[in-house]
Structures are given as structure tokens and as C-alpha cells.
């Protein structure tokens, strides 16, 4: 897959990132998400970082729009 940082918009669900960019070279659990938006069914979400050759994607559990699913989504992108 030849995805690059520009191909991954903020708010994109993690399963769609897998389709577009595949699995990263490394992933890290950055801990619990203190934001109330990260809770689902009373359970606190985590913050994850996926590393790719071209950069880093940070995921948090979020609902992006009113009709969107509550799932892990890209909330931050950084180039290497």
C-alpha cells in the first residue's frame, strides 16, 4: 500500500485506515483518554498511536458527527 499522511483525514475510523494504509510498523497504547467523549457505556477509552514509515497517527474513541458511529478515529497526524 502506498498511502501517505495526506491520504488519511482526521476523523477517519481505524478500520478505514487499515484499508487505506494497512497496519503500521509499530503501535503503542498511550494510556486512558481523560476526555468524556472517549467513554462508551461507562467504559473509558484508550489513546493509541500507530507508526508508519511516513508518520504517526493518534486514535481516540470518538463520534465525529451526530450520525457517525462511536469508534476509534484519527484525532492527530504527525510527519516523521
pLDDT tier, 64 (very low <50, low <70, confident <90, very high otherwise): confident
- Give the cell for residue 4: 501517505
Mean pLDDT of the chain: 94
Euclidean distance between CA atoms 56 and 40, whole angstroms: 25
- Which burial class, exposed, middle or buried, applies to 78 when counting CB atoms under 10 A from its CB (0-12, 13-18, 19+)? exposed
pLDDT of residue 52: 96
DSSP 5: G
Residue 16 has pLDDT above 70, yes or no: yes
Which grid coordinates belong to 12?
A: 477517519
68 in Cβ contact with 57 (< 8 Å): no
Provide mean pLDDT across the span 37-60. 96
Amino acid at each position: 500500500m502506498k498511502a501517505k499522511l495526506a491520504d488519511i483525514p482526521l476523523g477517519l475510523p481505524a478500520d478505514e485506515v487499515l484499508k487505506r494504509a494497512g497496519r503500521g510498523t509499530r503501535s503503542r497504547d498511550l494510556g486512558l483518554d481523560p476526555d468524556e467523549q472517549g467513554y462508551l457505556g461507562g467504559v473509558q477509552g484508550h489513546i493509541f498511536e500507530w507508526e508508519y514509515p511516513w508518520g504517526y497517527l493518534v486514535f481516540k474513541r470518538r463520534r465525529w458527527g451526530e450520525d457517525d458511529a462511536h469508534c476509534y478515529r484519527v484525532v492527530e497526524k504527525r510527519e516523521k
